[in-house]
With several copies, the nearest count.
Chain A
Amino acid sequence: MYSDKVMDHFMNPRNVGEIENADGVGQVGNAKCGDIMKMYLKIENDVIVDAKFKTFGCGAAVATSSMATELVVGKTVEEALNITNKAVADALDGLPPAKMHCSNLAEEAITAAIEDYKRRNGLLDEKDECTACSRRCDDVHHHHMEEEE
């Protein structure tokens, strides 16, 4: 089911926790759907210097959260915004098809945290306001895709 890399990031997740005075905090997902990711970023001079997360969710959700925090650290805010869900999944040696939505969640968590950072710093256009957080379960879940052919 899961690659060794996913299992490693699930069993030994990097950067679990909170950042006390985070510069941006984003939470996506929803408990009803069974996954919530909360991402904390420390940003200095437009560069992400630390990232931590808390996740309620399945193995893939935890592993993508862990991987996402590893990927963003050291990147500029704009670089971080360009991290795609595919990049997160690839870095984990792939995810099972039914679990790809978890990598969406990671991408969205990064976006949400950065938006929070921008909002706090008055860098946000109205129209960029976070759209990721309000999705319904069936937007992100695609377990049955395969079966409905």
Chain B
Amino acid sequence: MGDKLIYLDHAATTFVKPEVVETMLPYFTHKFGNASSIYTIGRESKKAVEEARDKVAMALGAQSREIFFTGSGTEADNWAIKGVAYANKAKGNHIITTAIEHPAVLNTCQYLESEGFEVTYLPVDENGLVTPEQVAEAIKPNTILVTIMFANNEIGTIQPISEIGRVTKEKGVYLHVDAVQAVGNVPINVVDMNIDLLSLSGHKFYGPKGVGALYIRKGVKVTSFIHGGHQERGRRASTENVPAIVGLGKAIELATKNLEEYNRKLLTLREKTIEEITKRIPFVKLNGDRHKRLPGNINFSFEYIEGESLLLMLDMKGIAASSGSACTSGSLDPSHVLLAIGLPHEIAHGSLRITFGEENTQEDVDYLLDSLVTIVERLREMSPLYENVKRGNQNV
């Protein structure tokens, strides 16, 4: 193993870019003032926070006063969904989402069900897509919110958000978009796309962990989620996390500026990898849409082997990746996303997610491919399920 690290799990989290760390540092030490204090170093912090807000707004095509900083992408999702639910319960109690949302959305919806709300979980097709028609049909007179992720964190599938936005706008229902995986990877404009609320998280695009933002279109009715002081114009209490907010601002600015080039780079790595895996390893299946997917995302199932074993062996070779196996999902079942696109449990257990980023190279891909070929073969040799395959009987 040694010190080699080929990091291929950028969807889990990213390192913070040096220039981002650089902009954050002074706010830990000599520019540490509380942004709500009126003296000079307080006002400097406030100014830094507002500049970061401008940058986030700019990146989304929003107005600065529509951006609210949070402590994570998960908090933004919780706030958006619970906030709209409670603020609009006089109007209705029905929420629409999909079966493949992140737990931050799914578990929040399940919590709301326990509180008397009604939730429709739209099924997805074998590529993980929902259609605007599905959304339109699911909307009822008591529907108050549609919450659909921009891009899936496991299989990378990108939803037709613009088209869905047209539907929700026409029907007068709020649209929340969990864009935690999309921001910094795909161009987004909340106005053009008719998005009412949007969640993002700093650590997915080379910003710091523990900071996110919620876009709330002006006029949208949302109750507060974290009550307390009057920070964030009275809507999200807690002493402003100035260094992290500044870092988020810098990171989103860099991400937006470099978007095209970054995309091109990731696409090249992705396409090469998909092509080679398909060519060099038998009994594999690409999960997620072949084209409508995040530029850096690859998700394969390798039949007859289990994901955690695969990850551990890759790790021993210095490669960091992820899997939808139950052993790594922290639950009894393999990934709900892989099950929702129709994979049987046993195939879902053998999934591998690779997500490329900034620092990856063509050599990383070559090294990954060689390692993968060996490891998959080795694990299959060890697998009782593969015996039958070798004997020519694939019906295990």
Q: Is B387 an interface residue (CB 8 A)?
A: yes
B281 interface residue (CB < 8 Å to A):
no
- How far apart are B66's CB and chain A's nearest CB, in angstroms? 11
Q: Indicate if A35 sits at the interface (CB-CB under 8 A).
A: yes
Please determine whether A31 and B346 come into contact, CB atoms closer than 8 angstroms.
Answer: yes
Contact of B387 among A54, A57, A137, A144 (CB under 8 A): A54
Count chain B CB atoms within 10 A of each CB in A1, A36, A58, A148 and give the residue with the most. A58
Residue from A56, A59, A61, A141 whose CB has the most chain B CB atoms within 10 Å: A56
A38–B382 Cα distance when bound, in Å, is: 10
Is A31 touching B345 in the complex (CB atoms < 8 A)?
Answer: yes
> A144: which B residues are within 8 A, CB to CB?
230, 234, 330-332
Given A56-B305, A146-B233, A149-B218, residue A36 in contact with residue B384 (CB < 8 A): yes
Interface presence of B5 (CB below 8 A): no
A117, CB-defined interface residue at 8 Å:
no
Tell whether, in the assembled complex, residue A54 and residue B384 are in contact, meaning their CB atoms are under 8 Å apart. yes
Contact with B along A106-139 (1 / 0, CB 8 A): 0000000000000000000000000000000110
A58 to B304, CA, bound (A): 12
Residues of B within 8 A of A11 (CB): 312-313, 316
**Interface residue total, chain A, C-beta cutoff 8 A:** 33
A20 on the B face (CB < 8 A): no
**CB closest chain-A residue, reference B46:** A1
Determine which of A27, A37, A59, A149 lies in contact with B312 in the assembled complex, contact meaning CB atoms within 8 Å. Answer: A59
State in angstroms the CA–CA spacing of A114 and B219 once bound together: 43
CB-contact partner of B326 in A33, A54, A146, under 8 A? A33
B306–A58 CB distance below 8 A: yes
Central interface residue in B38, B332, B344, by most chain A CB within 10 Å? B332
A11→B383 CA distance, assembly (Å)? 14
Residue of A nearest to B230 (CB): A147
Looking at B309, B326, B334, the one whose CB has the most chain A CB atoms below 10 A away is B309
Encode contact with A along B377-391: 1 for CB under 8 Å, 0 otherwise: 000011111010000
Within 8 A of A (CB), among B278-323: 304-306, 308-309, 312-313, 316
Within 8 A of A (CB), among B178-206: none
Contact pick for B384, options A1, A55, A143, CB 8 Å: A55
* Interchain nearest-CB distance for A130 vs B (Å): 16
Check B396 for interface membership: any CB of A closer than 8 A. yes
Known: A34-B306, A34-B327. Is A143-B233 also a contact (CB below 8 A)?
Answer: no
Contact with B along A58-72 (1 / 0, CB 8 A): 110110000000000
Q: Which of A11, A32, A37 has the most CB of B within 10 A?
A: A32
B349 at interface, CB cutoff 8 A = yes
Chain B, residue nearest A57 (CB): B306
Q: Is the Cβ of B332 less than 8 Å from the Cβ of A141? A: yes
Q: Can you offer 14 A-B residue contacts whose CB atoms are under 8 A?
A: A7-B312, A31-B346, A32-B344, A34-B334, A38-B384, A55-B382, A56-B305, A56-B306, A56-B385, A59-B308, A137-B332, A138-B332, A144-B330, A147-B233
- B interface residues (Cβ-Cβ under 8 A, vs A): 38, 43, 46, 218-219, 230, 233-235, 304-306, 308-309, 312-313, 316, 325-327, 330-334, 344-346, 349, 381-385, 387, 396
Q: Which 10 A-B pairs have the closest CB atoms?
A: A147-B234, A31-B346, A58-B308, A38-B384, A54-B384, A34-B349, A32-B345, A58-B327, A56-B383, A59-B312
Extra inter-chain contacts (12) besides given A32-B344, A62-B382, CB under 8 Å = A1-B43, A31-B396, A34-B306, A38-B384, A54-B384, A56-B383, A56-B384, A61-B309, A144-B330, A146-B234, A147-B235, A148-B234
